[in-house]
Each structure stands twice: as structure tokens, then as C-alpha cells.
Amino acid sequence: MRHKFWVLLRLATSDNQQMFIDFHTHRDRQSPDLINVQTLDVKANLQELPNICSLGLHPWFVQPDSWHQSWETLERLANSPQVIAIGECGLDRGIDLPMEVQITIFGKHIELAESLQKPLVIHCVRAFSELISLKKRSKSTIPWVIHGFNKKLEVFYQLLDQDFYFSFGEAILSDHGPMVEAIATIPEGRFLLETDDHPDLKIEQIYERAASLRQVPVAILQTQLVKTYEQLTRLF
Ligand SMILES: [Zn+2]
């Protein structure tokens, strides 16, 4: 069964290079030309998984007294073949949950992702220096993908330098700003695209904007991102 699933997934990704990939979305959108990586914030009673998903404990929804039960469920499900990444998880300085608790929980995600050799999908708000030092300290070998990145270019280049990957979304639609320059210049192989939790946003719009800023046709961008996706998720 597991083998068959992988064969189907490979066919879906490698034989059709003209797929769109929504690398981080909270929606369950089905379309024959779309790889929809649905991210789920794990609760203790989660059982059914979508075909392709990413699982984590989002720092916004961590309950100090019950996150251990959710964590057990996450650990139990994370090895399923449908789970192509761990997250979203991470650090957020804008919430009440103490930073040391956030670091403990994020540290568990790092260990889990490392043991399964699956990429990490990261939510980070005003805690980039902690993020960089955790990456250095963990000597991690898996890809760390920062989703929805929208910060100063200085931080972007610093993270690029530290081998982070990026998933860009709504921020590249603005007329100008740091993310417009970031998407135009980031090397191929270091980024993917996403819609996150914006109900009216279509991944096709994000692809069109990224292709135009990178001055490549959408079809070429699709081929490049299928390759990046396969590399990041180690399908090949
Ligand atoms: Zn999200």
C-alpha cells in the first residue's frame, strides 16, 4: 500500500512538470494540476490525513496544559507517507506563550523532522536570531523552510546565507517592497510558493507574479518548482 502511494506520488510530480504547488495552505483544494500541501495544526484527536500534508503544533494554538497529548498524536502520524513536511511550527514574539516553552516545543519538531528526514515548515515572528542560533546548534541536515516570509532584505540575505529555504506568498503581490526584490533575486532551488490562509488567493496568481518578477514564463517556473519540491521532500 505504502509502495503504491509513493509510485502514484512520483507519477504525479515527475511525469507532469506543469503542476502548480501550493506549499503551505490551510485549505483542502483539489485540482488535477495542483499539489496542495495542506498544513494541519495537530489536535490530540486527529485521525484522517489529507493526501499530501504538513503536520505541526502552531505556536498560536499551543495550550500549555494539553500540548503533550497533541504532540503524541503528531509523533504517531508524522511517519505516514502523506506527511511530506513537519510544521508549521516555530517561534513568535507577538504571543503570550513564553519563549522558552516555544523553544522547547519547536526543538521537538526539529528532532522529529530530523529523525524522519522531512523538511521543517517554519512560522517565525520577530525571533530570527533565536531561529538562526537554533539551526546552528542543532547541526540539522534537513531543509528549514520559512513560510510567509515578509521582512527586511537584510534579514532575508542573512537567512539565505544560513541555508534557509523560503515559501513566498501574498507579500510578493505588492507593487514594491523587500519581498518583490527577494523573489526576483533568490536563486532557483531555494524557494517555493504558497497561499497560506488567504481564502481568496489562488496559487496561480502567486505563480504569475513570481514568474513575471523573475522574468521567466510560468511553465518554466512550474518545472523549476516541481524540481525544488522533489528535492526538498526527498522524493528522488
Ligand atoms: Zn499558515
CA 122 to ligand 1 center in whole angstroms: 9
Q: Per mean pLDDT, which of 149-153, 176-180, 186-190 is the most reliable? A: 186-190
CA 150 to ligand 1 center in whole angstroms: 13
pLDDT score of 7: 43
The strands making up 53-56's β-sheet, listed across from edge to edge, are: 20-25, 34-41, 53-56, 83-92, 120-125, 144-147, 165-168, 191-193
CA 192 to ligand 1 center in whole angstroms: 14
The C-alpha angle with vertex 19 and arms to 17 and 83, in degrees rounded to 5, equals: 105
Statement: residue 57 has pLDDT above 70: yes
In this prediction the pTM is 0.91
Can you tell me the mean pLDDT for 1-17? 52
CA 1 to ligand 1 center in whole angstroms: 30
Within 8 A by CB and 6+ apart from 120, the residues are 85, 86, 87, 89, 109, 110, 113, 140, 142, 143, 144, 145
| Separation between Cα atoms, residue 46 and residue 68, nearest integer Å | 14
The C-alpha angle with vertex 154 and arms to 149 and 156, in degrees rounded to 5, equals: 30
**Residues 168 and 206 sit within 8 Å (Cβ to Cβ):** yes
Q: Give the pLDDT band of residue 44 (cuts 50, 70, 90).
A: very high
Give the rounded percent of residues in the chain with a pLDDT score beyond 90.
Answer: 87
Can you tell me the mean pLDDT for 84-92? 97
Q: Higher-confidence residue: 193 or 15?
A: 193
CA 20 to ligand 1 center in whole angstroms: 18
CA 220 to ligand 1 center in whole angstroms: 26
CA atoms within 13 A on the CB side of 54: 31
Statement: residue 75 has pLDDT above 60: yes
CA 116 to ligand 1 center in whole angstroms: 22
Statement: residue 26 has pLDDT above 50: yes
Q: Give the pLDDT band of residue 143 (cuts 50, 70, 90).
A: very high
